[in-house]
Structure 1
Amino acid sequence: MDRKKHSGILCHITCLPTSYGIGDFGPQAYAFIDDLARAGQTYWQILPIGNTDDSGCPYATDSAFGCADYYVSPDLLIKEYEIDPALYHKFILNTERVDFKRAKENKREALKIAYEKFLPSSSFHQFLKDEKDWVMDYAMFRALGETRGHDFRTWGRPELTSEEQKLMDFHLFCQFSCFSQLSELKKYANSKNVKLVGDLPIFVSYNSMDVWKNPQEFYLNDKLEMEYETGAAPDAFSKTGQKWGTPIYNWKAQKADNFEWWNKRLSFLKRYFDVIRIDHFRGFVATWISKVSAPDASEGQWYEGPGEELFKSLRDCPEIIAEDLGYITPEVEKLRETFNFPSMRVLEFMLGGANNPHRLTNYEFNTVAYTGTHDCDTLMGWYKSLSKEDKQRVEHDLQIERPNHWEMIQVLMSAPSRIVFIQIQDLLGLGSEARFNYPGTVQPKNWSWKLEFKDERRIDWQKLGMITTENDRVERKVVCG
C-alpha cells in the first residue's frame, strides 16, 4: 500500500458563492480548485449531485444516476452558446442561504434560453452513447413526471405525446449540459493534482427512475408498493429508531444478474469522480427495516445484505471510502477489510471509552479522518456546546488549552490517517450557525448554508498550506499567494 498521506476539503458544490444564489460547476468552482492546489490539497469532496426536491436534500434524489439542473453554470452557458449576458441578469439571486426552489426555477429558465441555440453535436451524441444505460430512461422519467404526475404507477404505457417528447429532448440537453460541465471541471481538477470525491447514498428514493424502470430490483408487492422501508435501529440517539422511507433491495434478484445495476452505477460514477464515499456502508452486511405501516422503527428487524458477493462482482469502479459510522459489527469490519476500503474517523466523535475508534490514539493509516461530516456541527460549534467536563477531556486528549479551530485542525493533520478532510466551515472557525444539516429533521436550515464572497476571501489558504506541508501531506513545497 502507498504510505503517502494527503488531505482535502469537504465542501458541497451548492456552498460555493456565485451570483446565482447557489454554487455550480462554473468559474467559482475552478477558482476553488486553484485555492486547493495552492494549499497543497489533494482532494475535494462533495455530496451527491442528483436531482432533489425543493428541500435540496442530496440524499433524497429521483435517481441513482443523473444530475440536478441547478448545478449548471449560467456563466459557462453564456460563453458556450454566445448568449447575451443581459438575458441572464434576471437570474441573479442574492440570498443569505440557498433558496432551492428559486434556484431550480432560474436554472431551468437559463437552460431553456441556451436550448434555443443548441444544435446536436458529435459530443452530444457521444454523451448519449456513453450514458446509454440510464440517460434516455431518466429524461423520460423527468418528462412523464411533469405531465402525468409523480406517481409512476399511474402512468400506464410510456407512449409519449409530442409535448412529452419535447420535454424529454429538453431534459437530455440538461443532462448533457450538467455532465459536460462536470467532466471539464474534473479534467481541470486533475490537471492541478486535485481529485474529486463523490458520494453514493446506498439507498434510492421510492419515487425514482430506478424503481420505475427496475421494480424487480426492489422488494415490492404486486401493486409495486413498499411493505418495508429502510432505517436505523433504536439507539442512544433515537429510542424508536429511524424510518427513512426508501425501499429495500431484492438482493436475491440482484444476485441473479450478477449485480448488473450496481456495476452500471459504479461505472457511471467513475466517469465523473476519482473517489467515491459509500454512505451507510454497513447496509451491505445488514439493514434495519420496518413495516411501512408501523408508527416507528422500534419493532423492526435486520435484513441481510449481499456482503462480499456484490463487491466481487464489480468490474469498473473508482477508489472507495467506506462510511462505517454508527452501529458497526465485526462482520462490517471484515467486509471493509477484505477489500481494503479505508475506515472513517471523526474528530467530533472523540469522546468515549478507550475502545472508541474515534479517539485519536485509535487512528490508523488506512483511515480517512474528518473534522466533522455534513451531519455534524461545525468544529467550533461542537466544542462550544460541550459541558465543562467534556471540554476538559477534549483539551486533555488534544493537549491544547481552550483550542481554536486551527489548533484542532493541526492536531488532526498530524494523525496517521492516510487522508484528512476539513469541512470548509471549519477553515473559517464558524459556529453552529453554519451547520449544514440536522439529521432526522426537516427544516429550512438543512442543506442551505453557503459561503458568501466575503467569507471565501477570509479563508487562510496559506496557513492551511503550511500545516499541510508540516505534516507531510503534500509531496511538494506549497506556495500560496
Structure 2
Amino acid sequence: MFLVSRKGTFSKEISVISFRFNMEIYSVQKKRFIFDSNLKKVRSNMTRSSGILLHISSLPGKYGVGTLGEEAYAFVDFLRETDQKLWQILPLGPTGFGNSPYQSYSAFAGSDLLIGVDRLVKDNLLRKSELDKLTEFSDKKVEYEQVAPVKTALLKKAFKRFNEKFDLYKEDYFNFLGEHSWWLDDYSLFQSLKEQEPDLIWNKWKKPIKQRDQLAVDKAHLEFAEAINYQRFIQFIFFKQWFDLKKYANNHGVQLFGDMPLYVSLDSADVWGNQDIFLLDDKGKPTHVGGVPPDYFSETGQLWGNPVFDWERLAERDFDWWIARLHFSFKMYDLIRIDHFRGLESFWSVKAGEKTAIKGEWVPAKGLELMKLLKSQIGELPVIAEDLGVITPEVENLRDEFELAGMKVLQFAYASDETNEHLPHNFGENFVVYTGTHDNDTTLGWIKSATIDERQNLKCYFNEGVAKLPDRIIEAAWASVARMAIVPMQDLLALDSKGRMNVPGTAVGNWEWRFKWEQLKSSKKEYLKELTKRYNRL
C-alpha cells in the first residue's frame, strides 16, 4: 500500500508487499464477495419480465463514447417509464486492439473510457470547460482511437485534483483498496508496465518480470508508484460510478444484467498473474487456444486465440480464481450471463499456430465441480447460460443440474421447419428469449438478407410484410412463455445493418454503434409499454 502525506497527496513510497492472488488472500477476501441473505432472493426475482440489451458505450451523449454519466441514468428512467425490469450490458473491462469487450486487459477492472466525465464535474475533479475537446467527436459512433488520448488527459487532471483533495476521499478510497487489492495490485502494476511498451504482450517482457520474480515485482512497484496510483484511482472512480448507477437502477425496479466471458485475453493481468491455471509453455505462450468449430457464423469456425484453462490445476487450487471471479460478478450485477457456457462442460481446444479453428478437439472441463462448489456457498445461482451453438446432452445436463436459464434467439428460429427449438412454441419457461444478440445482425438487417427458405418461413409464421416484421418478432418474444425477454436497442428502433454491433470473425469496425434519443419516438415507448402489459411482463 502507498503512504499519504499530511498534505493529502501521495508519496512515492510504497510497500514491497506483493499481493499475488493465492488461496490465503482468497480465504480472507471471499467473505467480502459472498452476498448476504439477499442473494438467495435473487432467483425469486427472476420472474416474468423483459428488458433491453444496450452496452454502456452505445449510450447517447456528447463526450465521444457512452458512459456511466447522466445518459445512463436517463436510460434507467426510460426503462422504468416503459416498465422494463432488465438492462443487459456487455463486459465492462478495458479493451485493447479491436475494442472488443470480450478481449479485456482484466476480468475485474472497469474501462476508463466508460467513466462519466460529467459526474467528475459534479465531484469537482474536473471543470465543465475542460470537457470541450470531448464534444468535438461524432455522436454517431464511438471513435476509440481519437477519444482515448483526450479522455486520458482529462482523467489525469482529475487524478491531480483527487490528490489535492485526498482527505475528502480517504476513507472510501482505503476501504476500496482493502476490498479489491487481491486483483487491483496485479492489474495496476500490469497496466503501468504496459504503458512503457503498449504494443508488447507481457510474455515478451524481460524474464524476471515476465515470470513474476519477487524482486523484480517489488522493484517495479517502487519504480512505477505514480502510474500504479493513477490506475488505482481510475478503478476507484469507475466502481464508485458503477455502484451509484446500480443503486439508482435497483431503486427504480431495474436489474442490471451483466455478461461474463468464459475466457480471458492472453494479454491480461489475469493470465500474467495466474500463469499456472492456463495452458502455457515455459515462455508464457499458449500451447492451445480457444474457439468453436464451424457453425452458423463461420464455415471455418471461430479462432479466438484466448489461452484455455488448465482445469486440473484449477481443481488443485479449489477453483479459487473462478470462484472469486463469480462472487465478484454477483456483487457487480443482479444477474450474469456466462458467455460460451458450454466451455464449462468441454471446450474446443486448438493447437496454437493453427490458422483456423477447424483442427481442434473437444476437451473435458470441470464446470460441474466448480458450480457445485459455488452453489454450496450461495445457494441458488442468478446465472443465465449462453447455451447456443453445438450443445450436447452433457451441456444441457450441466445447465439443468443447477436450474440455470438458457437462451433462445428468434433469428435462429426460421431456418428450418416447425420443430426448430428456437421457435416460441417449442421452448419452455426457463429461458431468456432474444430477437438477436450482439453477435447477430439487427433483426431488420437479417430479414433483408434472409435466405429464400427463411423468408418463406417468416411469411408463414407471421403473415406480414418486411416493414412490420421487426415489431412482430419482438412481440413473439414478449408473448412467449420464456421467463425473460430481451430486445437489443437496435431492434426496438428497427434499424438496418448499419446498426450492427459486431460481426464475429472480424477484428475492426465493431463495437462502435451508438443511438440518439431522437431515434426513440414516443410511439416506440408506448408500443413497448403496451406490449409489456399485454403479455404480463410487468
TM range (shorter): over 0.9
Contact 1:147 1:164 in 2 (8 A): no
Relative to the length of structure 1, the TM-score reads 0.94
- Residue from 201, 211, 224 that aligns with 1:151: 201
SS in 2 for 1:7: strand
Aligned: 1:427 with 2:487: no
- CA apart distance, 1:404: 3.3
- Residue from 254, 264, 273 that aligns with 1:213: 273
Q: Where does 1:47-196 land on structure 2 (aligned, <5 Å)?
A: 47-81=90-124, 83-95=126-138, 96-118=140-162, 119=166, 120-147=169-196, 150-153=200-203, 154-155=205-206, 156=209, 157-158=216-217, 159-160=219-220, 164-196=224-256
1:240 counterpart residue number:
300
- CA apart distance, 1:405: 2.2
Distance 1:278 1:328 in 2: 15
Aligned: 1:333 with 2:393: no
Name the stretch that deviates more: 312-321 or 331-340: 312-321
Q: Partner amino acid for 1:420?
A: A
Distance 1:223 1:270 in 2: 34
Q: Where does 1:431-442 land on structure 2 (aligned, <5 Å)?
A: 431-442=496-507
Contact 1:14 1:450 in 2 (8 A): yes
SS in 1 for 2:457: helix
Q: Partner amino acid for 1:373?
A: T
Name the stretch that deviates more: 118-127 or 252-261: 118-127
- Residue from 247, 254, 257 that aligns with 2:314: 254
Q: Where does 1:306-321 land on structure 2 (aligned, <5 Å)?
A: 306-314=366-374, 315-316=377-378, 319-321=382-384
Contact 2:117 2:126 in 1 (8 A): no
- CA apart distance, 1:174: 0.3
- Residue from 397, 405, 418 that aligns with 1:342: 405
Name the stretch that deviates more: 317-326 or 334-343: 317-326
SS in 1 for 2:51: strand
What are structure 1's unaligned runs of at least 5 residues?
A: 475-481
User: Structure 1's 35 and 238: CA in aligned 2 closer, same or farther, altered over 3 A?
Assistant: closer
Distance 1:10 1:219 in 2: 34
Name the stretch that deviates more: 49-58 or 400-409: 400-409
Contact 1:23 1:71 in 2 (8 A): yes
- CA apart distance, 1:87: 1.7
Contact 2:421 2:427 in 1 (8 A): yes
1:381 counterpart residue number:
445
- CA apart distance, 1:132: 2.3
User: Structure 1's 473 and 98: CA in aligned 2 closer, same or farther, altered over 3 A?
Assistant: same
- CA apart distance, 1:396: 1.6
Q: Partner amino acid for 1:325?
A: L
Distance 1:277 1:368 in 2: 10
- Residue from 408, 414, 421 that aligns with 1:357: 421
Q: Partner amino acid for 2:74?
A: A
Contact 2:384 2:404 in 1 (8 A): yes
- CA apart distance, 1:401: 4.8
Q: Partner amino acid for 1:266?
A: L
SS in 2 for 1:231: strand
User: Structure 1's 459 and 284: CA in aligned 2 closer, same or farther, altered over 3 A?
Assistant: farther
Q: Partner amino acid for 1:321?
A: I
Relative to the length of structure 2, the TM-score reads 0.84
Q: Partner amino acid for 1:127?
A: F
Q: Partner amino acid for 1:320?
A: V
Identity of aligned residues (%): 36
Instruction: Tell me how large the CA RMSD over aligned residues is.
Output: 1.8
- CA apart distance, 1:293: 2.2
Distance 1:460 1:242 in 2: 36
User: Structure 1's 117 and 456: CA in aligned 2 closer, same or farther, altered over 3 A?
Assistant: farther
User: Structure 1's 211 and 459: CA in aligned 2 closer, same or farther, altered over 3 A?
Assistant: farther
- CA apart distance, 1:270: 1.7
Q: Partner amino acid for 1:336?
A: R
- CA apart distance, 1:79: 0.6
SS in 2 for 1:198: strand
1:263 counterpart residue number:
323
Q: Where does 1:280-299 land on structure 2 (aligned, <5 Å)?
A: 280-299=340-359
- Residue from 42, 46, 50 that aligns with 2:85: 42
- CA apart distance, 1:237: 4.6
- CA apart distance, 1:380: 1.2
Distance 1:148 1:99 in 2: 23
Distance 1:27 1:383 in 2: 35
Contact 1:404 1:429 in 2 (8 A): no
Contact 1:322 1:342 in 2 (8 A): yes
- CA apart distance, 1:235: 3.8
SS in 1 for 2:363: strand
Q: Partner amino acid for 1:228?
A: H
- Residue from 23, 46, 59 that aligns with 1:16: 59
- Residue from 468, 476, 491 that aligns with 1:411: 476
Q: Deviations over 1:353-388 (max 9, x none)?
A: 444211222121101000100011111111122244
Q: How many residues align?
A: 473
1:324 counterpart residue number:
387
1:391 counterpart residue number:
455
2:512 counterpart residue number:
448
